[in-house]
Structure 1
Amino acid sequence: MEQNEGASGGTAQKAADAKDLHRAVREAGESELDRPAGALFWSGLAAGIAIHSSLIAEGALHAGLPDAPWRGLVASFGYPVGFLVVILGRMQLFTESTITAMLPLVTRPSGWALRRTLRLWGIVLLANLIGTALAAAMVAGGALGNAEIREAMVSVSARILDLGGWETFVNAIPAGFLIAVVAWILPNGRTQAFWIILAITYVIAIAGFSHSIVGADETFLLLFTGQVTLERALFGLLMPAILGNLIGGAGLFTLLAHGQVQGETRD
């Protein structure tokens, strides 16, 4: 970060401009692309399990609140918990990697960069899904939480059944966009990281946007408790959310973020 001389002779931090943010996020992406497959997988698996804390927190709040019109707004404060754990814990989350892995590719397009990007996404997404499936199976099997909270978690998860495949896809686009926003602005707001993640993910929750990894956790729980068929789980819930998040994060936001500094990025 650059520093400006203050009137009193002190120094003040200067916020990074778009080119600095682009470089910071791109370099983070390049580092991720070079990580061994095993490291990516275990980090992604940990993230998939850890993101389950969002559903646990929402379920606990839902179970403890009265059945009132504002219940959902308050219970949604549990939604950011998993993101705080995963992002601040530097675990590999598929939706966060949509922008970090894409910036190196759009900055220096090549077959190598494309293969490395697809490799990262494939490993992290698979690991995230396995992690969420394991966590959901433990809840469905009665190994996590008491009966009241498990029932509340199923109730909270059932909200995704209100959307068809197309609606899930459309609602996943802004979720992917907003998580990419988190990855983009964190280098400029590390001291406010907690509040940035909390605010943006809370908006995703109360707006009913579809996040592929949290949604996978909810989908697997509904699948394992017999609330949804395997066909709908895969093709009506999981795949539309994944594709929508990709378009919102790797497509819309990444191209806009790169476009604003195209031709003036500095190494």
Structure 2
Amino acid sequence: MSRQEDRPADTSSEGEAASEQGVARPDAFLLHEVIRKEGDEELRRTGGALFLSAIAAGLTMGFSLIVPGVLKAHLPEAAWADLITSIGYATGFLIVVLGRQQLFTENTLTPILPLLHDRSIATLMRVLRLWSIVLVGNILATAAIAAVLAGTEAFTPHVREAFVTISHHTIEAPFWTTTIKAVFAGWLIALMVWMLPATGTAAPFIVILMTWLVSMCGLAHIVAGSVDTFYLVFTGHASLGDYLWRFFVPTLLGNVFGGTALVAVLNFGQVAPEVEEQKAADGEA
């Protein structure tokens, strides 16, 4: 990750002049550079390292079903109980993000900034390679953890019943409704990733808040939702076709669009003039 010292800070008069001219604020540019450098580092990682990290993330996301399920099983039937249960959804995300594991929806933002910066076929192919490895690793691991939850008695029947109740939301909506829900989820998760470098010690709070919103609003997340839907498949409450066409495809489309178009592209647009200025100063084509 880059540091603010990599680019000299503007003086207050220069900052005011930039604001008057309508160009991006220097701090927005620095935030962009931090995330772009992080994306560059991810694109350079070996396939084996990416895959193992993605497997770890997919397994960890099982806690975004386990914790809400345990909470739901022990809370009374009340309207407010769902708000508490939704907080448990943040557990998997918190571990994944703070543990620096590879989560597909984070990668709808970080490697896109190097692609927007370079705009080359080579970088595009590196992004597609990263996406493929991370998505496959995430999904295989979610299937594995869901199989363990469904095929063992690690949790009581009451908790396992709560798992089923919670998981049904992933396949209950029509295709395009799920897609729209996934757009909002991808948007929120990518915004979370965008904000994290600037939050410092408040990072855990930001992760909990943004992922709680995803759960509370019933939005669709490709990795967390895969744990839920695979659990339904392995317990006989859904078919593999339900997973593919009622969840996976619409959710993947929505998450990618929400993360890339609504966060990466739009936030790149606000700093594009400074990016081009810096590239010219560095002698880049």
TM over 0.5: yes
1:105 matched to 2:136:
no
Which residue of structure 2 aligns with residue 204 of structure 1?
214
Residue by residue over 1:23-64, the C-alpha shift from the partner in whole angstroms, topping out at 9 and shown as x without a partner, is 000000000000000000000000000011111000000000
Residue number in structure 2 paired with 1:56: 66
> What is the CA-CA distance between 1:236 and the residue it aligns to?
1.2
What is the identity, as a one-letter code, of the residue corresponding to 2:41?
S
Distance verdict in 2 for CA 1:143–1:129, change over 3 Å: farther
Is the CA contact (8 Å cut-off) linking 1:16 and 1:188 kept in structure 2? Answer: no
Q: Could you tell me which of 176, 188, 198 is aligned with 1:178?
A: 188
- 2:126 corresponds to 1:133: no
Q: How many Å separate the matches in 2 of 1:149 and 1:16? A: 50
Partners in 1 of 2:170 and 2:146 — Cα distance? 15
Q: Report the Cα distance in structure 2 between the residues aligned to 1:127 and 1:181, rounded to whole angstroms.
A: 23
Quote the residue 1:254 is aligned against.
Answer: 264
Secondary structure of the structure 1 residue equivalent to 2:77: coil
Give how far 1:16 is off: 7.5
Q: For 1:209, what is the secondary structure of its paired residue?
A: coil
CA distance in 1, matches of 2:153, 2:263: 39
Q: Percent identity?
A: 42
For 1:43, the equivalent position in structure 2 comes to: 53
1:191-227 Cα shifts (integer Å, max 9, x gaps) = 1011000111111111111111111111100111111
Partner of 1:260, secondary structure, is: helix
1:147 is aligned to 157
Aligned position for 1:68: 78
Paired with 1:144 and 1:101, the residues of 2 have a C-alpha distance of 38
Task: Give the TM-score, by structure 1 length.
Answer: 0.93
Give distance in 2, aligned partners of 1:164 and 1:228. 15
Instruction: Give yes or no for contact 1:33–1:117 (8 Å, CA) kept in 2.
Output: yes
Report the residue type matching 1:68 in the other structure: A
Matched, 1:94 2:104: yes
Q: AA paired with 2:220?
A: S
Residues matched between the structures, number:
257
Q: Would you say the 8 A contact 2:35–2:113 is kept in 1? A: yes
Structure 1 CA distance for aligned equivalents of residues 154 and 26 of structure 2:
43
- Which is further off, 42-51 or 233-242? 233-242
Aligned-pair RMSD on alpha carbons?
1.6
The 1-side partners of 2:57 and 2:47 are apart by: 15
Which consecutive residues of structure 2, in runs of 5 or more, have no partner in the other structure?
A: 11-24, 280-285
Output the CA distance in 2 between the equivalents of 1:151 and 1:254: 39
Question: Equivalences for 1:14-25 in 2 at 5 Å?
Answer: 17-25=27-35
In 2, the alpha carbon distance for the partners of 1:65 and 1:160 equals: 22
Distance 2:237 2:200 in 1: 40
Structure 2 letter corresponding to 1:197? V
Q: Distance in 2 between matches of 1:81 and 1:63?
A: 17
Q: Is the 8 A contact 1:168 1:210 kept in 2?
A: yes
Q: Secondary structure at the match of 1:162?
A: coil
Q: How does the TM-score come out when normalised to structure 2?
A: 0.87
The structure with the larger Rg is 2
Unaligned runs of 5+ in 1: 5-14
Pair 1:78 & 2:68 matched: no
Is 1:169–1:240's contact at 8 Å kept on the other side of the alignment? Answer: yes
**AA in 2 matched with 1:107:** H
- Give the CA deviation at 1:143: 4.8
Cα 1:225–1:39 change in 2 (3 A) is same
Contact 2:222 2:251 in 1 (8 A): yes
Partner of 2:240: 230
